[in-house]
Amino acid sequence: MIVLGLDPGSRRTGYGLVEEEGRELSYLGDGVILLGGELTRRLASLYDELTEIIARFTPEIIAVETPFVAKNASSALKLGQVQGVIALVAAQRGLSLYDYTPMEVKAALTGYGRATKDQVQGMVKRVLGLDHRLELDASDALAVAICHIHSVRMRDDLAAQR
Q: For the domain bounded by 2-161, which CATH number is listed?
A: 3.30.420.10
How large is the C-alpha radius of gyration of the chain? 15
Active-site choice (7, 20, 30, 104): 7
pTM of the entire predicted model: 0.94
Return the exposure string of 92-105: e unless at least 16 CB atoms fall within 10 Å of the residue's CB, then b.
eeebebbbbebebb
Active-site choice (20, 65, 104, 140): 65
pLDDT of 26:
97
19-35: pLDDT as tens digits: 999 889 999 999 999 99
Distances from the Cα of 43 to the Cαs of 10, 16, 52, 79, in angstroms?
Answer: 8, 19, 14, 10
Active-site choice (20, 30, 104, 137): 137
52-70: pLDDT as tens digits: 999 999 999 999 999 766 6
69-97: pLDDT as tens digits: 666 788 888 999 999 999 999 999 999 99
Annotation says 65 is catalytic: yes
pLDDT-derived band at 41, boundaries 50, 70, 90? very high
Annotation says 157 is catalytic: no
Annotation says 131 is catalytic: no
Distances from the Cα of 145 to the Cαs of 4, 39, 53, 152, in angstroms?
Answer: 6, 26, 15, 11
Give the other-Cβ count within 10 Å of 52's Cβ. 11
Sign of CA dihedral 106, 112, 118, 122: negative
